[in-house]
Structure 1
Amino acid sequence: MGAMENAIVNREDRIPAEAREILQSLASQWDDVVDSKALQVIPLKGAMTNEVFEIKWPSRTGELSHKVVVRIYGEGVEVFFDRDNEIRTFEHMSKNGQGPRLLGRFPNGRIEAFIHARTLSACDLRDPDTSALIASKLKEFHELDMPGPKVVTLWDRLRNWLSTAKRLCTPEEANSFQLDSIENEIPLLERELSGPHQRMGFCHNDLQYGNIMLEEKSKSITIIDYEYASYNAVQFDIANHFCEMAADYHTDTPHILDYSKYPGLEERRRFVCLYLSSSGNQPTHSEVEQLVQDVENYTLASHLFWGLWGIISEHVNEIDFDYMEYARQRFQQYWISRPKLLGSVGSPPDIVTDGNCAV
């Protein structure tokens, strides 16, 4: 999950020496920088996989100085994705005008060009005009021709994450999260969701508001942070985006989800219709309805995906976030939604839910 803005706090001690050398070399090429070593380091709030910092320097003109972004990779998060693949994706995106330019790399991170656009907030996702821009951009993203095998990665990733979660969990935690039951659910979901209507494309897989930037004047959307990006069912990517509307990572309790903010049927239809029509062809009513239903079914996979992510993150990540409570809410929402979406398919266990999360 990506990064969001925060108040200015100088944390130069968090920037590795190798990164500082690259930053000084970059700044020394800019005529208006007073002192290439005088870094202003601003942590960007809300990063849950990496540490992300905005870097700027005092300028001779007193106007806005040059800015870059330093991304320091989180400890232990390679369990979630292949870092080499992620870097290749970033470089390919950069070369093709998608996302920020790559300015430098150091052993545990990289330096990116600063995008002069604002990161979206939670409420932006529900704004009709902004949502329309996201739908169109997401269709463009899904149609990118990216290097690597063009196969759906979701199910193998879920199996791998479940295996890792079981290895890291105490027996009590594994029992509390019903991980043995989740093991039975993954192949069931794969069988039920991988139908003839599945659309495959290059998916972001983490389309929360902090990973979407808007340039106000041109009304252009940029999607950033590709750690989890891969070929996948596009229904999963859209479903994941809808699920993210229940989150607000800028509150005092960023782990708490409010599913009353999940988009209603008409809002989902509108997004899907705009998504399908953005390439110039007007979709039929049945095409829209089919995709809306398929997306809704894929919310189940999203809940398992981020539920397992939360459990693993609790054990490998030092970032201040209540990963376990977040995971509990995602799994709870899975079991609440499952009967409505899958009916009596399979035999779900008796899950006891409590009233602690906002559902």
Structure 2
Amino acid sequence: MAIKTIELLKGCGSQEEIMEVLAAVASDLGDVIEDLNNLQVIPLKGAMTNEVFQINWPTKNGGGGLRKVLVRLYGEGVEVFFNREEEVRTFECISNHGQGPRLLGRFTCGRVEEFIHAKTLSAADLRDPEISPLIASKMREFHSLHMPGPKKIQLWQRLRKWLSQAKSLCSPKDIKNFGLDNLDEEINMLEKKLCERYQEIGFCHNDLQYGNIMMEVETRAITIIDYEYASYNPVAYDLANHFCEMAADYHTDTPHVLDYSKYPGLEERQRFIRVYLSSEGKKPSKTKVEQLLNSVEKYTLANHLFWGLWGLISSYVNKIDFDYKEYARQRFQQYWSTKPALMGSEGNVSEDEIVTSFI
């Protein structure tokens, strides 16, 4: 249901600034908005870092046609997670590579983006045997993007930074309950163990949940959106993140609740990784598939710490209606419950152990 812009965007900086930017965007697109207060504004659900809206207005040519754009209002306090100016530069650079939407305008507390005329995937779509291979191929393409800046792993530095932020924000009770004083040792252990062998580094999305993947219905072309957390990282980490996201459904009455029985089984993970590696045009060896699969499984541990710390910090700084603290508790719980099977030996982890640990 559409409601007036002024009612929906209240509390976000200068209303005049937002209206001026929308008017300028409309003009650039060849339209004229006669009454900015009568724009159609539709909240889009599922975002947990920002608030996102679809905004419509009649095209200049009339005929009942509507121009659609996407407005993103930056979440409060999220600057602790990433540098917004760097994120916007990433957005523009990815757009220049022909990936994702175009940046149409900026205002103090948000921006206007091109509206992608495609459907946002659902939680079930991630497991669809026809859609999943398309995602795997698109991930490989995304990881191959040449982005500015040093091509170095950002994961460990970010984890340590977030741990420091969490300790500074949390109450002594939360520090104790979430075991934050022990996480320095865990991060050091993971970095040492996971970096012992060669690992491919690529430009990773780092948040490839279903809401950040769109598909054009007719062509079935996949578009990856929302790059707030994107950076260079081991590609195994990004694959691990995607698999972990299959436990989530952010469009239920309890969007924070995770169901790890939905974590993909061994054959499903193998199939995804095989397609991911095959998208280069050469069939991968069984050994290469198994090596990447093993690395991915271990990187799920780093992923649980990453989003556990994110949830804990968000519970103190973000006002979006989401039970961040309970989400964090589940991610930390999954870390501790799966760590023995995944890191119990120096060699390869038994696949039976891996599968059992996620059920």
Q: TM-score, normalised by structure 1?
A: 0.91
- Which runs of structure 2 are paired with 1:28-177 in the superposition (5 Å)? 28=27, 35=34, 37=36, 38-59=38-59, 61-177=62-178
TM-superposed CA distance for 1:247, in Å, is 0.2
State the alpha-carbon separation in 1 of the partners of residues 2 and 125 from structure 2.
23
State the alpha-carbon separation in 1 of the partners of residues 259 and 3 from structure 2.
30
Determine if contact 2:23/2:33 at 8 Å carries over to the other structure: no
Determine if contact 1:239/1:299 at 8 Å carries over to the other structure: yes
Determine if contact 1:50/1:71 at 8 Å carries over to the other structure: yes
State which drifts further: 9-18 or 234-243: 9-18
Question: Which AA in structure 2 matches 1:179?
Answer: L
Evaluate the alpha carbon distance shift between residue 282 and residue 26 of structure 1 in structure 2; reply closer, same or farther with a 3 A threshold: same
* 3-state secondary structure, aligned to 1:252: coil
Q: May I ask how many residue pairs the two structures share in their alignment?
A: 341
Question: Which AA in structure 1 matches 2:242?
Answer: H
Alignment match of 1:12 (pick from 3, 6, 10): 6
Evaluate the alpha carbon distance shift between residue 327 and residue 245 of structure 1 in structure 2; reply closer, same or farther with a 3 A threshold: same
TM-superposed CA distance for 1:196, in Å, is 2.1
Considering only aligned residues, what root-mean-square deviation do their CA atoms show, in Å? 1.7
Question: Which AA in structure 2 matches 1:237?
Answer: D
TM-superposed CA distance for 1:34, in Å, is 6.8
Evaluate the alpha carbon distance shift between residue 279 and residue 26 of structure 1 in structure 2; reply closer, same or farther with a 3 A threshold: same
TM-superposed CA distance for 1:22, in Å, is 1.6
TM-superposed CA distance for 1:29, in Å, is 5.5
Evaluate the alpha carbon distance shift between residue 326 and residue 11 of structure 1 in structure 2; reply closer, same or farther with a 3 A threshold: farther
* 3-state secondary structure, aligned to 1:246: coil
* 3-state secondary structure, aligned to 1:68: strand
State the alpha-carbon separation in 2 of the partners of residues 61 and 288 from structure 1.
54
Question: Which AA in structure 2 matches 1:314?
Answer: S
State the alpha-carbon separation in 1 of the partners of residues 114 and 258 from structure 2.
32
Deviations 1:230-284 (A, max 9, x none): 0001100000000000000000000000001000000000000000010111110
1:203 aligned to 2:197?
A: no
* 3-state secondary structure, aligned to 1:57: strand
State the alpha-carbon separation in 2 of the partners of residues 216 and 64 from structure 1.
20
Evaluate the alpha carbon distance shift between residue 228 and residue 184 of structure 1 in structure 2; reply closer, same or farther with a 3 A threshold: same
Identity %, equivalent residues: 63
- The aligned counterpart of 2:294 is 293
State which drifts further: 209-218 or 58-67: 58-67
Deviations 1:90-121 (A, max 9, x none): 01111221100111111121110100000000
* 3-state secondary structure, aligned to 2:58: coil
State which drifts further: 59-68 or 202-211: 59-68
Deviations 1:129-148 (A, max 9, x none): 11000000000000000011
- The aligned counterpart of 1:231 is 232
Evaluate the alpha carbon distance shift between residue 161 and residue 63 of structure 1 in structure 2; reply closer, same or farther with a 3 A threshold: same
- List runs of 5+ in structure 1 lacking aligned partners: 1-6, 346-357
- The aligned counterpart of 1:22 is 21
Evaluate the alpha carbon distance shift between residue 8 and residue 255 of structure 1 in structure 2; reply closer, same or farther with a 3 A threshold: farther
- The aligned counterpart of 2:275 is 274
Evaluate the alpha carbon distance shift between residue 30 and residue 283 of structure 1 in structure 2; reply closer, same or farther with a 3 A threshold: closer
Question: Which AA in structure 2 matches 1:66?
Answer: R
Deviations 1:35-91 (A, max 9, x none): 352311111111111111110013564544010011111111011011111011001
State the alpha-carbon separation in 2 of the partners of residues 30 and 290 from structure 1.
49
TM-superposed CA distance for 1:32, in Å, is 6.7
- The aligned counterpart of 2:188 is 187
State the alpha-carbon separation in 2 of the partners of residues 199 and 235 from structure 1.
8
